[in-house]
Amino acid sequence: MAATPVWSVDPRTGKPREQVAVEATPAEVDRAVRAAHAARSALADRTVRAALLRTAAQLLDEAAGHVVEAADAETALGPTRLTGELARTTAQLRAFADVVDEGAFLDIRIDHEDGTKTPPWPDMRRYKIPLGVVAVYAASNFPLAFSVPGGDTASALAAGCPVVVKAHPDHPATSELCVSVLRRAAAQVGLPEDVVILLHGFDAGIELVRHPLVAAAGFTGSVRGGRALFDAAAARPAPIPFHGELGSLNPVVITPAAAEERAEQIGAGLAGSMTLGAGQFCTKPGFVLAPQGPSGDRLLKSLTAALSDTDPGVMLDHRMRDAFVEGVRERAGLPDTEAPVTPGAGGDHTVSAGFLTVPARLLAAQGAHDLLLEECFGPVTVVARYGDPAEIGAVLSRLPGNLTATLQLSTEELAGDGDTGARLLAELTPLAGRVLVNGWPTGVAVAPAQHHGGPYPATTSTSTSVGATAVERWLRPVTYQSTPQALLPVELRDDNPAGLPRRVNDRQE
């Protein structure tokens, strides 16, 4: 059977640019996973792992011009956006190197033998070890930060896990360039290049998650694709953790007092957030609860003005563009749904931003408007206008899980006057992994306290894919009981030669 070619396509024209690779066969997937599996022991040294991450960041910075050029040619995201994304990517590689150096991610806990306990305690020592080969499924909308050199790869390597990446078909050339940099970094620090391997092809992605030597998987993409892989991971003879990010509405609640105080500012901010990256951010605010009345009208007027000044944008590929145009058409055709600024096709290869409005009461119970509570990928948001504040809770109770939820409050509400802020914050908290007040969700800081995840379908687990704790996804705890010092892993010995942070007899050292 002839190999299936993998083409790099220009989304601005829809025309192929070059053949980059061929899709991996089942035999090639097997060889790749076995090669990565064989590289596990080489990653045992934390010092070398940290060096790998820092060297990869340095080499990516040095190749920045080529990387940004390749990514822009395949995604049309623009050099400014991609330069920022590359900086974020290299910053998170260095951040995980710091995590490895510091060692707290090992979560070392030692309880010495204590015969006074009931029942008596034996000597027990616990820490975390790497799971094994991690399959990473690259995202379409972040060709760097959530793809080959992105957070899943960085955190897995930090944990000591080799990585096999399934490239996204929207940016295969960028993926090949980035994996070559990572493999060169591995060679420079004395590691086998096969600590990172790249594969192409839809069928290869299915074979990868089913491979018996793959120990866990990370995915960023659609509900349909992610759920298929999640189900395949669960259906294995030995199921594995599948950390998938699938889809999110990212609701925004605007109080009447906030709209009265700063309607124009909120409208402009919403427009900027929902159109960032042509509306293709996973944290795009796709659903808004805004008040009826004059202040709500002012807000929509501001949103209309801002969106009317937004140029048409190019989406990541024509399949996504067609899905956006059809999705908007279906939603706009629902009864009592209006389009003050009509989103949809902006040209043969572009889309125009816009928004839809609907009475919130129509969404408070299951009915014909349920489609408006599903994500539409692209530069559109749905504004549900409420007359009675009780409608807010009724609508929120029907929303699926989200990555983010945002609350826009007035100055007095921020100060705690009345119970509005606290009550709405309590209603939003069960819906999302990150709750914002008077901000906008597009923009995910790579910080230790960050949580980028949320209830299903936002993600398939309770873990984060951004921030220091993302490394926990690729580890499992193990306890050694009544084990002689000479046989213990060095991290668990009494003398603690590496000076690792640990908790001994329930006291932090």
Q: What are 401-424's pLDDT values in tens digits?
A: 999 999 999 999 999 888 999 999
Residue 196 phi, psi (nearest 5): -135, 125
Residues making up the chain, counted from first to last: 509
pLDDT at 2: 75
Per CATH, 24-107+131-246+461-476 and 251-437 having the same topology is answered: no
Model confidence band, residue 1 (pLDDT cutoffs 50, 70, 90):
low
CA 504 – CA 158 distance, rounded (Å): 24
CATH number of the structural domain 251-437: 3.40.309.10
**Residue 55 pLDDT exceeds 80:** yes
| β-bridge mates for residue 408, sequence order | 254
pLDDT at 295: 97
The angle at the Cα of 72, spanning 16 to 440, to the nearest 5 degrees, equals 130
CA 411 – CA 116 distance, rounded (Å): 56
| β-bridge mates for residue 402, sequence order | 432
CA 419 – CA 186 distance, rounded (Å): 55
CA 498 – CA 489 distance, rounded (Å): 12
CA distances from 438 to 99, 391, 448 (A): 31, 21, 21
Q: Which residues of 89-105 are buried (b: 16+ CB within 10 A; e: fewer)?
A: bbebbbbbbebbeebeb
Q: What are 186-228's pLDDT values in tens digits?
A: 999 999 999 999 999 999 999 999 999 999 999 999 999 999 9
Q: What are 78-107's pLDDT values in tens digits?
A: 999 999 999 999 999 999 999 999 999 999
Task: Report residue 318 as tokens.
Answer: 């024509």
- The secondary structure element, H or E, covering residue 18 is strand 15-22
Q: Among the options 245, 375, 391, 413, which is catalytic?
A: 245
CA 296 – CA 302 distance, rounded (Å): 10
Residues 6 or more apart whose Cβ sits within 8 Å of residue 424? 253, 255, 392, 407
**What is the mean pLDDT of the segment spanning 337-343?**
96
Task: Report residue 504 as tokens.
Answer: 């001994």
CA 381 – CA 281 distance, rounded (Å): 13
Of 224, 196, 160, nearest to 476 (Cα)?
160
CB contact at 8 A, 153 and 182: yes
Of 238, 33, 6, 25, nearest to 135 (Cα)?
33
CA 158 – CA 468 distance, rounded (Å): 10
**Residue 159 pLDDT exceeds 90:** yes
Is 161 tagged catalytic? no
The alpha carbons of the chain give a radius of gyration, in whole angstroms, of: 25
Of 269, 250, 249, nearest to 259 (Cα)?
269
Q: Among the options 161, 178, 282, 376, which is catalytic?
A: 282
Residues 6 or more apart whose Cβ sits within 8 Å of residue 132? 37, 40, 161, 162, 213, 214, 215, 216
CA 169 – CA 136 distance, rounded (Å): 14
Site of tokens 């609701």: 251
269, 270, 275, 281 alpha-carbon torsion, rounded to 10°: 100
Is 178 tagged catalytic? no
**What is the mean pLDDT of the segment spanning 240-268?**
98
CA distances from 355 to 48, 224, 278, 313 (A): 50, 25, 13, 15
The angle at the Cα of 244, spanning 239 to 245, to the nearest 5 degrees, equals 170
**What is the mean pLDDT of the segment spanning 330-354?**
95
CA 217 – CA 199 distance, rounded (Å): 14
Domain 24-107+131-246+461-476 has CATH 3.30.465.10: no
Average per-residue pLDDT in the chain? Answer: 97
Q: Where are the domains of the chain?
A: 24-107+131-246+461-476, 251-437
DSSP string, 385-401: EESSTHHHHHHHTT---
**What is the mean pLDDT of the segment spanning 259-264?**
98
CA 484 – CA 113 distance, rounded (Å): 12
